[in-house]
Amino acid sequence: MKRILWTLSSVLAALGIAAAVLITLNLRGEEPLPATETLQSTPALVQRGEYLARVGNCMACHTTTGGAPFAGGRGIETPFGVVHSSNLTPDRAQGIGSWTSAEFWRAMHHGRSKDGRLLYPAFPYPNYTQVTREDSDAIFAYLQSLPAAPDANRAHALRFPYNTQAALAVWRALFFAPGAPAAEPTQTAEYNRGAYLVNGLGHCTACHTPRNALGATSDAKAFTGGLIPVQNWYAPALNAAHEAGVKEWRTDDVVALLKTGVAPQGSVLGPMAEVVFRSTQYLSDADARAMAVYLQALPQQDHKAPATVAPPPASAMARGGKVYEQQCAQCHGDRGQGEPGAFPALAGNRAVTLADPTNLVRVVLQGGYLPATAGNPRPHGMPPFQQTLSDEEVAAVTTFVRNSWGNQAPGVGTIEVYRARERRGM
């Protein structure tokens, strides 16, 4: 009996120690909240906050189609279930009208809500923790200036155990620590401003970094590219010339891509088109250039020579060539040369020959739409072929495009097309 009691007490002691460590790790860096609001809002602060909210693309997640701006309710699918965005309007019952700027800062910096709950990292506080208190206060002032919307917050629909605060506390203990922007003393002010925007409000690593089985990213793999399971697109590496690296581009061309969605070397589609449409087109010229300078300075991946790719079956190339002639050549040209200023070239296009063909398949199925921006208000688009082409035809034409006019890449199978359709419910 004594042995059982000793074992039980040992287990309880170990659990107590583990709980204490978990609590400590989840409270690190937090300070007591002030009892009253200290922020004095001004028109200039609100205007600054509106700009920063656009830089962070906050509306994209916190607004539903046809809903009030920032009223939340958008379902964000994750591998663990659905997280619903919260109401950020100043409604006192459903929104953040009863919050203080310090409580908002705690959510941004520490990932903790007004009532003390731990927030899910679908809200990218692992990036926003890099945002300064001054910028957090400006965003809060802007959100408080919006019309209040009484839209009720929707409960998350996460599977067990991911729907528990205990599991979230373990995740945070393993993968999250509050941070702060740290300027590189050997770099220019422009570089450091770009680093602050890219790594903080811009939260570029949230998509362009692979995630582990628990949905966490690693600084060691930052910008190396990864599949976005939420949207089933591949976010290409930003530090590799053969994917989406811009080190060798003219800085002005990188700025053009961020602000208009198009550049001489390429254009944006899919989720990045939404980012440009809702966020980066509104960057000031100075901030866009700072981000470009930082992205061009990223340490580059060592690019190993690609393994020899076995030529696709002649039958697949023949079938794909026929589909291309009937459906694609009118815009993209008989030799995949495209039409400058209108339709992108497919020959020599690194987006076409990515090792992961997901994006190419998605464009064929869904169509390709550039963002309408002030610098490119009437962009050309590509129609969807999901109802026109069979899986076999999509596989064949993408295989053909990836292996014609000097392109070389593995062929695409029908299973990859099926997965692209299935994830979107097509």
Domain ranges of the chain: 28-175, 189-296, 314-423
- pLDDT for the residue 341: 81
- Two tokens, residue 124: 């990218």
More confident residue, 12 or 31: 31
Q: Where are the beta strands (DSSP E) in 220-317?
A: 226-228, 233-235, 262-263, 266-267
Give per-residue pLDDT as tens, 267-277: 999 999 999 99
Own/partner pairs, 205-214, CB within 8 angstroms, 24+ separation? 205/127, 206/124, 206/126, 206/127, 207/235, 207/271, 208/235, 208/236, 208/237, 208/238, 208/244, 214/171, 214/174, 214/175
Closest CA to 271 of 238, 302, 305, 235: 235
Q: Where are the beta strands (DSSP E) in 16-119?
A: 75-78, 81-84
Give per-residue pLDDT as tens, 383-424: 999 999 999 999 999 999 999 999 999 999 999 998 887 654
- pLDDT for the residue 33: 87
- pLDDT for the residue 140: 98
Return the amino acid letter for 53: A
Q: Is the pLDDT of residue 166 over 90?
A: yes
- pLDDT for the residue 72: 96
- pLDDT for the residue 293: 98
Q: How confident is the model at residue 338 (pLDDT cuts 50, 70, 90)?
A: very high
Supply the pTM of this predicted model: 0.91
Q: Is the pLDDT of residue 28 over 80?
A: no
Q: Tell me the average pLDDT across 271-294.
A: 97
Question: Does a cis peptide bond (omega within 30 degrees of 0) precede residue 69?
Answer: no
Question: 198 — phi, psi (to 5°)?
Answer: -65, -45
Q: How confident is the model at residue 31 (pLDDT cuts 50, 70, 90)?
A: confident
Average pLDDT over all residues of the chain: 91
| CATH fold group of domain 314-423 | Cytochrome Bc1 Complex; Chain D, domain 2 (1.10.760)
Own/partner pairs, 279-287, CB within 8 angstroms, 24+ separation? 279/54, 279/55, 279/56, 279/57, 279/60, 279/202, 281/371, 281/373, 281/374, 281/375, 282/51, 282/54, 282/55, 283/55, 283/258, 283/259, 284/51, 285/255, 286/193, 287/55, 287/193, 287/194, 287/197
- pLDDT for the residue 424: 45
Helix axes 391-402, 358-366, angle to 10 degrees: 130
Q: Tell me the average pLDDT across 76-92.
A: 95
- pLDDT for the residue 36: 86
Percent of the chain with pLDDT over 70: 91
Are 87 and 95 in contact by the 8 Å Cβ rule? The answer is yes
